[in-house]
Structure 1
Amino acid sequence: ADVSDTVGVGYSSVTTRAELEHRAVVACADSAELRDALRAVAEGRPSGVAVIDRSVSGRTAFLFSGQGAQRLGMGRELYTSFPVFAEAFDAAVVELDRYLERPLREVVWGEDAGLLERTVFTQAALFAFESALFRLWESWGVTPDVLVGHSIGELTAAYVAGVWSLEDAARLVAARGRLMDALPGGGAMVAVEAGEEEVAPYLGDGVSLAAVNAPGSVVLSGEEKAVLAVAERFADRRTRRLRVSHAFHSALMEPMLADFETVARELSYAEPQVSIASTVAADADLTDPAYWVGQVRATVRFADAVVELG
C-alpha cells in the first residue's frame, strides 16, 4: 500500500469508510514501520505497535491525575510535535508565571527533580500539562462525556469544562500550590490496602482519611507519628509511604484555608459545560467558592466518582 500520505490515508479511513465493529490502530514513528505494522494487521500477525479490538458503546471519561504524576521533561516532545499542545501550554504558563517565583517552563523542563517536587511548582506544572493535553485531544475530535479529577486534577477538570477562565483558573491553582507549599513541613501520607470502614476507628487524633481510591485502597494523612502508628496496625497488608512534602487532605492543611478562600471568592464562576463527577460529593456545586476551599481538606472520594462514571 502507498502510505506516503499518512495523514490523508488516516483521515479518509475515519471519515469515508463504514464504522465497522472490528477496529485496528497502529502507532508508528516512520513509513517503514507503518508498512510493516499494516502488513501484520492484514495478515493477522502480532505487532508491537498495533492494537486490534472491537468497538464498544458507552460514555468517554477523561481523568486528570493529581500530585505524583509529575516528571521532569513532561510534555516537551508533545510541545515540539503538536502546535495545538504548544499553544495551550504556552498560554497556561504565561498566566501561571505571574504568581510563581521562577519560570515554570524552566522547572518542568529543567534538571532539578527536587524543585519540581515542590508543591508550588508541582500543581502548576500538572495544570499546564493536563490542560494542554486536553486541548490536543479536543483538536482531534476526541471529547469526553464526563470528567473526573484527583485533587489538583479536579481544578484542571473544572477549568477545561468552563467553570473558570484561564486567568482565574491559573490564579486559583497558583494560590493553592503556594499556600500549601508555605505550610510547615512534616506530616506523612501512607497508602494502605484496607477499606474505609477498617481504618475509620483509627481516624482523628492527628490522622485523616485523605483518599479512598478503591474499595480496598485508602490513603491516610496527618501527623507523622500518628499516621505511621495507624499504618502499623495493617502491617500484614501492603502499605506504602508516599513521597510528599506535606500531609495533603488532612487537618494540617487548615491554616491555609482562610487565605485560599479569599482568592477563591474573588474569581468568576460559570456552570460547567461538560459533566464532572465530583470526588467530594455527588451533588456538589462546583460554582460555589466554598466547594474548592473544602476540597483542599476533604477526602478525595475517587472510588465514588468511578462508580458514578459507570
Structure 2
Amino acid sequence: MWALGTWVLLGAVCSGSAQLQFNVIKSVEQTICNKTVIIPCIVTNLIQNNIGTMFVKWKLEKKPFFIFRGSTRTMERNDSFSSAELESEQNLTSGIASLKISRTQAVQGNYSCEVTESSREGETVIELIYHRVAWFTPVENILIILSMVLAILFYWIQLAVTVSKFETTLLKIGLFIAGVVITISAVVGFSLLISDEFKPENQIGLGLIVLPAVILVPCQYFLLQIVYENNLSFAIGVVILESLGYLIAVIGFGLCITACRPKNGAVVIAGLAIMALIALVGLIYAILSGYSKKEQPTRKAVEEPLNDAKGVMLE
C-alpha cells in the first residue's frame, strides 16, 4: 500500500517537472526605428543548466524557421530568416532562449518558442505586432509649421508695408524673389514633414523648412534699412537676434536629423519661434516708422503757409 502511494507521488512529481515553464509574454511591438527585433522566450524552471542538453526551435505560424542544437552548438535557419540568432548563446543555460532578428525579416505573426532540456520540454507563443510611429509628435509638427508660417507671414506683411510706403527699387524686387523662394521651400517642407509613419522624406522636409530660413536674416536687415536709414543700430540688433534664433533652429535640426524618434524637437521649435517673434518686432517697427514718415510732409505743408503768413505780416 505504501509502495503504491509512493509510486503515485513520484509519478506526479515527475510528470510535473517534465513540463518546462515560461515567463508569459503575450506580445511585443516593433517599429521602423528598430534595427533588430528581440522576441523574448524565458524558461523559469531549468534544472540541469547545461547547454549541451538543450534544444531550441522557433516557429512562425507553426512553421519552423530556426533551430539551435546545444549538443553540437549549431544553428539551422530558413533562408527568409538568415539574420535569426539567439539573443545570447551564453545565457541559454539561464533559460533565456530569446531570438534576435533584423527588422526587415521580422514579419508580423505568432512566433512559437519550443525549448527542450533532456527529456523535459515546453512551448510558449508570442505575437509580434508592427506599430506605426511618426517622426515628430502631432503637436511638434503643428508648432514647427506654425512658427515658420508666422515668420514668413510677418515677412510678407513687412515687405508689403515697405513697398507701399516707399519707392520701389531693385533691392525690393530681390526681397520679393527671396520671399517667394523661402515660401515655396517651406510649403514643400511642410508636405514632406507630415506623415503617419517615419520616412526619410521627413528629414528632407525639416531641412527644407529650417535651412533656407537663413534667407530671412539678411532680408530683415534690408527691410529695416529701407524703413529708417538713420537707425541702423536697431536693424543690426534685430538681425543679431534673428540670427540667434536661426542658429538654435539649425542646432535642433542637427540633433534631430540622426534620430528616428527625435528628442530635441523643442530646440527646433524654439529657434523658429524666436525668428517669428523677431519678424513681428520688425513688422511693428516698419509700420510705426512708415506712419511717422508719412506724417512728416503733412507737417511741412502746414508750416510753410504759416511761415508765409508771418512774412506778410512783418512787411
TM tier relative to shorter chain:
under 0.3
Higher helix share: 2
- TM (norm. structure 2) is 0.22
- Which is greater in Rg? 2
